[in-house]
């Protein structure tokens, strides 16, 4: 592979192609960085219309004017960057890290624990949310909990612990998020962008023994997120997201939280480069 570090723009490797990680990747790509996204083969994404990880299933995906494309080799990175696209690459264990040698690594997997990111992976390493300790396993932690400290740069210590309670949107928290009542294959009965009512069936989960359980909305609103049809999921996994604000356009645009996190990562990089 050609020396990608010789190209204009720092190389940033973003672990994960979900909603918050995509907000980071979008911000950095728009700012002129050479962004790479590493993902698992079959990522679980409820708000997949605004996730670059959707390229794993669709081969290519666009989020607010920035395109991503699935690639099979690091040799394809340069061609995509020249076209203004983000490469999405299956490498959850970062086995190609030594070859890529990014200047910056951002862990946006949002697993609530560190899945292998280390400070020595790049000159600057950033972890999003709980599970990371600044100055130990990463250089900087970004606060991801909604509220006064959202987007705060943490240079020592950890982010706020995972509360297990979804953020408050339109006066609703736990009520707006739908979880899988059992493990199995999810079959969607509604589509993202539709208006739904409390008690309506959003989809069904079928176990191997053909036992079927419905996934039901608890509130009225716009279906802002829903797992893709045919997805296999464990029990207790986020399956849908109903937005009580009922703005259909929110389904197709990056959320205020993801934009804030993206801006925070950009700020962290600027501060680091000035040091």
Sheet holding 212-216, edge to edge: 212-216, 201-206, 184-188, 231-233
Please write the tens of the pLDDT for every residue from 246-267.
899 999 999 999 999 999 999 9
CA-nearest of 140, 122, 106 to 24 is 106
Looking at the domain that runs over 4-162+256-274, which CATH code has it been given? Answer: 3.40.50
Q: Phi first, then psi: what are they for 163, rounded to 5°? A: -85, -20
Helix, strand, coil percentages for the chain (3-state, nearest 5): 25, 30, 45
Report, at the CATH architecture level, how domain 174-244 is classified: Beta Barrel (2.40)
CA distances in angstroms from 26 to 23, 58, 66, 107, listed in the order given = 5, 18, 7, 15
b/e 237-275 (16+ beta carbons within 10 angstroms → b): ebbbbbbeeeeeebbeebbebbbbbbebbbebbeebeee
For the chain, the domains span 4-162+256-274, 174-244
Q: For residue 70, give both structure tokens.
A: 């699935």
CA-nearest of 127, 97, 93 to 113 is 127
Query: pLDDT band at 4, cuts 50/70/90?
Result: very low
CA 15, CA 203: separation in Å to the nearest integer?
29
- Give residue 27's pLDDT: 98
CA distances in angstroms from 260 to 100, 265, 267, listed in the order given = 27, 9, 10
β-pair type (85-90, 66-71): parallel
Please write the tens of the pLDDT for every residue from 187-230.
999 999 999 999 999 999 998 777 899 999 999 999 999 999 99
CA 114, CA 136: separation in Å to the nearest integer?
11
Please write the tens of the pLDDT for every residue from 92-149.
999 999 999 999 999 999 999 999 999 999 999 999 999 999 999 999 999 999 999 9
CA 103, CA 79: separation in Å to the nearest integer?
19
């Amino acid at each position: 592979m050609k020396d990608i570090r010789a190209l204009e723009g720092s190389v940033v490797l973003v672990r994960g192609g979900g909603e918050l990680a995509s907000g980071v990747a979008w911000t950095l790509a728009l700012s002129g960085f050479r962004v790479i996204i590493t993902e698992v083969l079959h990522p679980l994404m409820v708000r997949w219309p605004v996730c670059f990880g959707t390229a794993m299933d669709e081969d290519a995906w666009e989020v607010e004017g920035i395109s991503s494309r699935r690639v099979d080799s690091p040799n394809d990175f340069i061609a995509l960057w020249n076209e203004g696209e983000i490469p999405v690459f299956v490498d959850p264990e970062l086995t190609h890290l030594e070859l890529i040698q990014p200047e910056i690594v951002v862990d946006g997997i949002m697993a609530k624990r560190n899945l292998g990111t280390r400070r020595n992976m790049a000159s600057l390493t950033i972890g999003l949310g709980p599970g990371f300790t600044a100055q130990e396993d990463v250089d900087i932690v970004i606060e991801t909990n909604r509220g006064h400290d959202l987007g705060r740069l943490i240079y020592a210590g950890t982010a706020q612990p995972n509360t297990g309670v979804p953020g408050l949107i339109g006066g609703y928290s736990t009520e707006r998020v739908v979880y899988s009542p059992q493990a199995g294959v999810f079959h969607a009965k509604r589509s993202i962008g539709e208006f739904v009512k409390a008690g309506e069936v959003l989809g069904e989960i079928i176990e191997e023994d053909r036992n079927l359980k419905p996934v039901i909305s608890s509130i009225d609103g716009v279906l802002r997120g829903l797992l893709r049809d045919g997805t296999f999921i464990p029990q207790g996994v986020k399956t849908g997201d109903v937005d009580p604000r009922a703005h259909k356009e929110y389904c197709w645009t990056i959320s205020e939280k993801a934009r804030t996190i993206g801006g925070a990562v950009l700020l962290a990089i600027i501060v680091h480069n000035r040091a």
